[in-house]
Amino acid sequence: MVRAGLSSFSLHLPDDFLGDPWFELDEGGKSVSGSFRGTPALDLLDFPAKVAALGIHCVDLCIQHIPNIEPGYLAELRAAFESADVELYQLLIDLGEVASADPAERAASIAMTKRWMEIAAELGSSGVRYVPGDSQPNPENTRATGDAFRELYDYSIACGVEPATENYKAFNNEADNLLGVLDIAERDYGLVADFGNAKGPGKYDNLEKLMPRATAIHQWVMVDEAGAINLDDSRRCLNMARDNGFDGPVMLLGGQPYDVYRGSRDLGEAVDELRGQVRAVFGADLDG
């Protein structure tokens, strides 16, 4: 079902409600370390209720935003999502270099990704999203990454969460490279089509290749210096999704340039505006 969603990244608009958190797994994966680089105005445990109050019932959660992975805390966070009737759609695993030419780094990245899959299962997440990383693709690491993605897919399914990837970071910037890894993996991956990560003269060609397999969208709009949306670009991307039969969540991420967008509207305004763009293409009965 096409529905509007938010990410914990969306709460950077316009002020960082969560306090610009950055946490990573400690060695052994039993705890996290990091810090809030700003002053939180919203506890992560209150995140589900915050988005539900905006009429949103589907969210993504960035791993860097999770300040505690002790079982008690994860159970409390899971209960917060359930009590707010908000689906945790995907845990976004943004770290690691699965495509690294260094076997030790690649193995460590695979292990880290698996640990976050276990955490996603504890949180009751429907799925996880991860990418090969910032390595430049070549025939050798494409084959190794495809093999790693096969292993990671099987582990994720065993954990009870649906795996997906995205046109994010250097390796997956080009649709042909992303789809090549999935072909080697020979697994039925979900695919997040990110409007903002598709850039440059090949933007629409890349999205045209991704959209037939897209199971989720990260919606970004392009804005001018005054913060006004480029409606032609927004509608072209959304129409492409509709015309390819897209039927999943559209995560309302924001606008680019990011500083211009976040400085010109508050969170509620951004949600209404972005959701309005989706409704204009997919219809007034849009859930979320």
Q: Please compute the mean of the pLDDT values over residues 187-214 and round it to a whole number.
A: 97
pLDDT averaged over every residue in the chain: 96
What is the reported pLDDT for 77?
A: 98
Between 257 and 15, the higher pLDDT residue: 257
Let me know: does 219 contact 252? Beta carbons within 8 Å.
Answer: yes
Lowest mean pLDDT among 51-55, 62-66, 152-156, 264-268: 264-268
**CB-based contacts of 16-22 (< 8 A; 24+ apart in sequence):** 17/41, 17/42, 17/50, 17/267, 18/42, 18/44, 18/47, 18/65, 21/64, 21/65, 21/67, 22/64
Superfamily of domain 9-282: Divalent-metal-dependent TIM barrel enzymes (3.20.20.150)
Q: What is the pLDDT of residues 57-76, one digit of tens each?
A: 999 999 999 999 999 999 99
Q: What percent of the chain has pLDDT over 90?
A: 95
What is the reported pLDDT for 15?
A: 81
**CB-based contacts of 177-184 (< 8 A; 24+ apart in sequence):** 177/137, 177/142, 178/210, 179/209, 179/210, 179/213, 180/137, 180/142, 180/146, 181/132, 181/142, 181/145, 181/146, 181/149, 182/146, 182/149, 183/146, 184/142, 184/143, 184/145, 184/146, 184/147, 184/149, 184/150
Give residue 288's pLDDT band: very low, low, confident or very high (50, 70, 90): low
What is the reported pLDDT for 14?
A: 78
Q: 154 vs 25, 98, 117, 158, 161, CA distance in Å? A: 22, 15, 11, 6, 10
What is the reported pLDDT for 287?
A: 58
pTM for the whole structure: 0.96
Residue 260 has pLDDT above 80, yes or no: yes
Neighbours of 57 (CB within 10 A): 21
What is the reported pLDDT for 162?
A: 98
Q: Please compute the mean of the pLDDT values over residues 164-182 and round it to a whole number.
A: 98
Residue 117 has pLDDT above 70, yes or no: yes
* Distance of alpha carbon 34 from alpha carbon 66, whole angstroms: 10
Residue 279 has pLDDT above 60, yes or no: yes
Q: 282 vs 235, 268, 277, CA distance in Å? A: 11, 21, 9
* Distance of alpha carbon 227 from alpha carbon 207, whole angstroms: 24
Give residue 48's pLDDT band: very low, low, confident or very high (50, 70, 90): very high
Residues written for the chain? 288
Residue 93 has pLDDT above 90, yes or no: yes
Helix and strand counts by DSSP (H, E) for the chain:
9, 10
